[in-house]
Amino acid sequence: MLRIYVDAIKVIRLLEPVLGEVKSKNANLADQCDRAATSVALNLSEGSGQRAGNRRLRYQTALGEARELWGACDIIEAKRLSRIGCRSHRVTLLSPRARRVEGRADVVGV
């Protein structure tokens, strides 16, 4: 299992109060954000048990979902849908571990 999986779970936990607040103002965005965060963790977990091509595919999907989540955080802040900052939680997924995984994704097609 990649160590970034722990970060993905941490982000889900940290986003919970943000999404609770956003849900009352934009239920679709809250749901999309929740699904993206969940998908990051699930694809990292699934990929860790796969080999070569399937592993790369799962990690690539996790990376795409993380980018979607980052965008959702930007939208939440731009629309001022939460009093709790969402962007600061995004930093957890932009940790050095995440950047190494992203770098690997770009190099080997993960």
* Residue, of 107 and 27, whose pLDDT is higher: 27
pLDDT digits (tens, 9 = 90+) for 24-68: 999 999 999 999 999 999 999 999 888 888 888 999 999 999 999
Domain boundaries, the chain: 4-108
Task: Annotate the chain with three-state secondary structure.
Answer: CCCHHHHHHHHHHHHHHHHHHHHCCCHHHHHHHHHHHHHHHHHHHHHHCCCHHHHHHHHHHHHHHHHHHHHHHHHHHHCCCCCCCCHHHHHHHCCHHHHHHHHHHHHHCC
The predicted model scores a pTM of: 0.79
For the cut 70, the answer to whether the pLDDT of residue 7 exceeds it is yes
pLDDT in tens, 58-88: 999 999 999 999 899 899 999 999 888 776 6
Higher pLDDT: 105 or 3? It is: 3
Correct CATH for 4-108 of 1.10.1060.10, 1.25.40.20, 1.20.1440.60, 3.20.20.140: 1.20.1440.60
